Structure 1
Amino acid sequence: MRNYKRLLYGVSLFLALGAGCKKEADDVQQKPNPPGPVTANTFTNPLLPSGPDPWVYQQNDTYYYTHTLGNRIGLIKTKAISQLGKEAFTTVWAPSVGEPYSQNIWAPEIHQLNGKWYIYFAADNGNDVNHRMYVLENASADPTTGTWTMKGKLTPTTDRWAIDGSVFEHGGQLYFIWSGWVGTNDPGIQQIYIAKMTNPWTIEGDRVMISRPTFNWEMNGLVNEGPEVIKNAAGKVFMVYSASGCWTDSYSLGRLTLRDNGNPMNPDDWIKSPAPVFATKAENNAFGPGHNGFFKSPDGTEDWIIYHANSFAGQGCGNARSPRIQKFTWNADGTPNFGEPVKINTPLLRPSGEVK
């Protein structure tokens, strides 16, 4: 996400660290190797030079990609996510001036629910304290066409600052998950909340907090955000989220696991991994990897993660964050194994079944 108040905080923090830390950062910020030779069967990360908060939704062998553009929402429709650099955005929605959601449009996600398309996004009126979650609807078969209409603000009983919204279904119930503040006007701690939904644009009742920063690796900025759900082949539910401040290189991915037969609305039924599951790899030019999503290869045989990261230390929450993808596997206990961020500019095999 692009929280400029927190970005300013991050700048101040780095200045306070002194010349010794500056030299260390300068040593790390070496120019990466140029891209290796790419063939018809390979690609290199990053996919685009800029793309904070990347998101992919898969419909059979078609993929819809989006990321934070700030003043509008755009989609790329493609058969090959690894080839995003050859595609262009179609702007599908832009707000009218003067609305509560006219500015700072962050982290859009597109989902298909009950035969219609929905885009969830965070926005405000120019004042960060007013950030809330909103949802658009489109009944067209192709979400890059037709009309997107504003369905409104997603509001639990306790209406507070909110960003990074997503949805998932479990046991026949639709849930909304997001990152928010406890209070009304103090950034404080960002926590992950969940609420039931009566339909794709309406929250039922109040929010329940299911995760807050508790381990040391989450405390560099006191942030839990960007929650995303993935299920394994047996239907076990995992929530992968971003921890620590995006203005730090400590930004990383954590994981919550829903207990077998657990209730998603019960915080005690979510078990937090004690260590990050995906973190900075300086020698691979991957700093602060986070804000992820998941998709399958076109032939359905491979699992892939999409995320953003910076290529150099100290680049923070801005547009230097670039989208990257890599294949991941599953551990013997059924948990996802993301490995470590792969080295940029290094040829990787394209997702299996991608059109050449």
Structure 2
Amino acid sequence: MKTKVLILVISLFVFNSCRNKGTEVNENKAVQQTYTNPILDAGDEPWAIFHEGKYYYTQGCEDVIILWETTDITDLRNATRKTVWIPKDKSNALHLWGPEIHFIHNKWYIYFAADDGNMDNHQIYVIENESANPMEGEFEMKGRISTDKDNNWAIHASTFEHNSERYMIWCGWEKRRINTETQCIYIAKMKNPWTLSTERVMISKPEFEWERQWINPDGNKTAYPIFVNEAPQYFLSKNKDKVLIYYSASGKWTPYYCVGLLTADANSDLTDPASWKKHPSPVLAQYKEKHVFGPGSLSFIPSPDQKEWYTLYHARKIPNDATGAIGSQTPRLLKVEWDEDGLPRFATLDSLGTPLPLPSGITKIN
């Protein structure tokens, strides 16, 4: 009898041990299938491209351009990284804003804005690398992209191809700042990756109240009013019948920094301002309850298996940021859903540290 009781006790112990072990494995497995924001501990103006199974990521910096390479965009902290550009000319040595890497005609190009230390002298530059892998070889200066005859201030260049035409979109001044600064969105066709072929055309300027915020809730503000439309990004509707340009609006140093949207028919003349319609309200804005302030600087990437789309963006957990340019923002990842019209609908912004499902095609293995 004692032997039977002992066997029963041992059996129950083994059963419970296996059950607990199985639960532990499942819990670990669940952890492996999630990620949390931010995906890096510091950085703003996040941008990435997915090419031949790898993500190439970059972000704004003061005096260099750094490139990350990874198969898992949620694991940038462990990604291979390399400084791919150190300025050689004093005229473009500082405030390297909004770098973007693009693969065009089997060459790599990085577009960025820079100045000589005076931010009023910001201009757009492009560097080129002929290597198959942008982490190899050398980037060489291709030149400054002249955006208009008066060499107006210009930042945040992005390029895309649509209906066999290459375009550049960017943020610029209509005219030199005097007492008020107004940043607008421009578009032009390109002759090649470093030269415009048409005159610039303004397709958006700050007009709504949510695009013209420049004073923080605590009263902190810039020395003069700055009304902002910047960081334009191209995307397509789900059925590709509409061209979408997302842009950031209001002062980056405020919690009111947000994302606006311009739409145009896919077959329209994109260099005609009349082709573009501006949505009357932002599509992405602060979420006070979750402590997400100043979301902006969108870029779009697919999941590794191409089944899902995600947007990279930056935000911060405090309302005010006096530094503005390179401050307390962190890069984050957000899944894109689609509404009934085939336009992107962004998931709810979550607090930092909230577990989120990994992009489709990424598997974490301990």
CA contact (8 A) 1:278 1:340 kept: no
Could you say what the CA RMSD is over the residues aligned between the two structures, in angstroms? 1.5
- Between the aligned partners of 2:202 and 2:212, the Cα distance in structure 1 is 17
Aligned to 2:200, the other structure's residue is in SS state strand
**Per chain length, whose mean CA-contact separation is higher, i.e. which structure has more relative contact order (CA < 8 Å, sep 6+)?**
1
Aligned to 2:294, the other structure's residue is in SS state strand
Query: What corresponds to 1:108 in structure 2?
Result: 99
2:135 to 144, 162, 171: 144
- Between the aligned partners of 1:347 and 1:232, the Cα distance in structure 2 is 28
Query: What corresponds to 2:69 in structure 1?
Result: 77
- In structure 2, give the amino acid aligned to 1:296: P
Equivalent positions of 1:157-176 (< 5 A) are 157-158=148-149, 159-176=151-168
Residue 278 of structure 2 corresponds to residue 287 of structure 1: no
Aligned to 2:75, the other structure's residue is in SS state helix
TM-score of the two chains, using structure 2 as the length reference:
0.84
- In structure 2, give the amino acid aligned to 1:199: N
Offset at 1:265? 0.3
Query: What corresponds to 1:91 in structure 2?
Result: 83
Query: What corresponds to 2:259 in structure 1?
Result: 253
Aligned to 2:92, the other structure's residue is in SS state coil
- In structure 2, give the amino acid aligned to 1:237: V
The one-character-per-residue Cα deviations of 1:185-221 (angstroms, maximum 9, x if unpaired) are 4461100011110001111132110000111111113
Aligned to 1:329, the other structure's residue is in SS state strand
> Unaligned stretches of 5+ in structure 1?
1-36
Aligned to 1:268, the other structure's residue is in SS state helix
Residue 123 of structure 2 corresponds to residue 132 of structure 1: yes
Query: What corresponds to 2:237 in structure 1?
Result: 232
Query: What corresponds to 2:25 in structure 1?
Result: none
- Between the aligned partners of 1:282 and 1:60, the Cα distance in structure 2 is 39
Aligned to 2:289, the other structure's residue is in SS state helix
- In structure 2, give the amino acid aligned to 1:215: F
- In structure 1, give the amino acid aligned to 2:98: A
- Between the aligned partners of 1:262 and 1:132, the Cα distance in structure 2 is 29
The one-character-per-residue Cα deviations of 1:301-328 (angstroms, maximum 9, x if unpaired) are 1110100001111125233100000111
- State how many pairs are aligned: 319
- Between the aligned partners of 1:184 and 1:204, the Cα distance in structure 2 is 23
Residue 46 of structure 2 corresponds to residue 54 of structure 1: yes
Equivalent positions of 1:15-26 (< 5 A) are none
Aligned to 1:75, the other structure's residue is in SS state strand
Identity %: 42
Q: Which moves more between the two structures, 180-189 or 213-222?
A: 180-189
Query: What corresponds to 1:210 in structure 2?
Result: 203
TM-score of the two chains, using structure 1 as the length reference:
0.87
Query: What corresponds to 1:201 in structure 2?
Result: 194
- Between the aligned partners of 1:219 and 1:305, the Cα distance in structure 2 is 24
Residue 302 of structure 2 corresponds to residue 308 of structure 1: no
The one-character-per-residue Cα deviations of 1:58-117 (angstroms, maximum 9, x if unpaired) are 113210000012110110000000011222521011012x43111111110000011110
CA contact (8 A) 1:308 1:321 kept: yes
The one-character-per-residue Cα deviations of 1:312-351 (angstroms, maximum 9, x if unpaired) are 1112523310000011111111111113322211111111
The one-character-per-residue Cα deviations of 1:243-302 (angstroms, maximum 9, x if unpaired) are 111011110000000124211101110111111000001122210000010011101111
Query: What corresponds to 1:263 in structure 2?
Result: 269
Query: What corresponds to 2:114 in structure 1?
Result: 123
- Between the aligned partners of 2:129 and 2:136, the Cα distance in structure 1 is 9
Q: Which moves more between the two structures, 339-348 or 106-115?
A: 339-348
CA contact (8 A) 2:238 2:343 kept: no
CA contact (8 A) 1:79 1:355 kept: no
Residue 335 of structure 2 corresponds to residue 330 of structure 1: no
